[in-house]
Amino acid sequence: MTSESDRISEPLNLAVIVASVRPGRLGPVVADWFLDRVAARGGFSATTLDLLDFDLPADLTPSPAGEAFASAIGAADAIVAVTPEYNHGYPASLKTALDSVKYEWRGKPIGFVSYGGLSGGLRATEQLRQVVAELHMVSVRDSVGFHRARKAFDDLGETTDPAATDASMRMLGQLHWWAALSARNSAIEHYPG
């Protein structure tokens, strides 16, 4: 039998949500860059949840896609949303995803990798902090933001932005701390939501 101390010494499960679903999107380039940072850091086993693959109903009707998405969130110890900024907010696809799941979000940490024009998607990130608090999640302090995102990555999906790498490492450290705490506490008692 696996003890709780064994469980939290394993790599923790990190779900990386790709929020953009539009044709020609930049989202997968940003997500792949971030997944490389996760692998370089260690301590997490990452799963990509591309919202394009889920086809979640915007009217929130229960669906197999919704069940599959909730199950994937339930298996995660921590979440990162890779999100663009659209009209000073975050995409509707991400709001639908957030609204499609209830209990599986609770007590878990979330971080944000945003991208956009001049603001680097920071307005999307700050709006998301309000929403995830209602879902009983903890948003970590550090986030990653790419301004002028189309120009930030070369043809191989690499970026020379050292601030982004530094920020991603700080964010992952904070996520790991909260995720280990959440995994330990969840094994002892249900989140009081």
**Does residue number 87 form part of the binding site for ligand FMN (CB under 6 A)?**
yes
- Minimum CB distance to ligand FMN smaller for 44 or for 115: 115
**Does residue number 11 form part of the binding site for ligand FMN (CB under 6 A)?**
no
**Does residue number 117 form part of the binding site for ligand FMN (CB under 6 A)?**
yes
Burial 44-73 (b: 16+ CB within 10 A, else e): bebebbbbeebebeeeeeeeeebeebbebb
- Minimum CB distance to ligand FMN smaller for 3 or for 87: 87
Q: From residue 138 to residue 177, what is the string marking binding to ligand FMN with x (rule CB under 6 A)?
A: -----------xx---------------------------
Q: What is the enclosing helix (H) or strand (E) of 138? A: strand 138-139
Residue from 22, 41, 184, 190 in contact with ligand FMN (CB under 6 A):
22
Residue from 41, 88, 141, 184 in contact with ligand FMN (CB under 6 A):
88
Q: From residue 23 to residue 62, what is the string marking binding to ligand FMN with x (rule CB under 6 A)?
A: --xxx-----------------------------------
Phi and psi at residue 13, in whole multiples of 5°?
-85, 125
Within 10 A of 87 (CB to CB), how many other CB atoms are there?
8
Residue 111: strand, helix, or coil: strand
Within 10 A of 151 (CB to CB), how many other CB atoms are there?
9
